[in-house]
Amino acid sequence: MAKTKQSARRKKFDYNQDRKKLKKKFIKKSNPRIENEQIRNAWDNRKSSARNLQEMGLAFDPNRSLPIKKPSLLGRERPTKAPVGIVTKPYVLNQLEDEASRPEKDSKTLSSDLIEYAQYMIREHSDNYKAMARDEKNYYQDTPKQIKRKINEYKRCHPEHYNGFINSLAAPQPMAQ
């Protein structure tokens, strides 16, 4: 089979190509960014992935780290041994455990318009959702169930704010003389 004309030609150096940029691009592709900060700081690019994870006390292959007992034909079971590696970076494991044990913050919040809407409806109609649905400020023509869901969402997302608002409604207003 004949070679193509281009492959037979002598290779010429491309002066228009930036070799430094090409090398950086290749390195970036071969070493992808590690999202976890603790693992990224302890990572050694000169070692393999399995070796890095083994030094941190993490499993590279979960099938090898948690072996399944294989029953033999003779009736006695022999557990297969998992490879035991030396953990030289236990601080990574400790940091990951600390991060996992911290409670997750509920970052859900409502828009100020929705909060004002819920407060207005509660102020005017207290718990009467049918009256809220007929209210003229119900611009989006929400049904009573939709309004109830929005108010419950307000109670759940901002409990301190809601309790303060309800207490301010329950307190008698001083009359000006």
In a domain, 59, yes or no: yes
In a domain, 77, yes or no: yes
Q: Are residues 121 and 162 in the same domain?
A: yes
Q: Specify the DSSP class assigned to residue 46.
A: T
In a domain, 2, yes or no: no
Q: Are residues 131 and 87 in the same domain?
A: no
What pLDDT score was predicted for residue 27? 84
In a domain, 31, yes or no: no
| Predicted structure pTM score | 0.47
In a domain, 102, yes or no: no
DSSP 3-state of 19: helix
Nearest to 85 by CA among 46, 53, 41, 54: 54
Q: Where are the beta strands (DSSP E) in the chain?
A: 70-71, 77-78
Q: Are residues 82 and 129 in the same domain?
A: no
Q: Specify the DSSP class assigned to residue 71.
A: E
Average pLDDT over residues 140-167: 94
In a domain, 1, yes or no: no
Residue 104 has pLDDT above 90, yes or no: no
Q: How far is CA 152 from the centre of its chain?
A: 25
Range of the domain at 58: 37-96
Contact 58, 93 (CB under 8 A): yes
Rg (CA), the chain: 33
Contact 93, 101 (CB under 8 A): no
Q: Are residues 80 and 44 in the same domain?
A: yes
CA distances from 171 to 113, 126, 167 (A): 25, 15, 6
In a domain, 13, yes or no: no
Q: What whole-number distance in Å separates Cα of residue 76 and Cα of residue 71?
A: 7
In a domain, 54, yes or no: yes
- Please give the tally of structural domains in the chain: 2
pLDDT tens-digit map of 68-93: 777 777 666 665 555 567 888 999 99
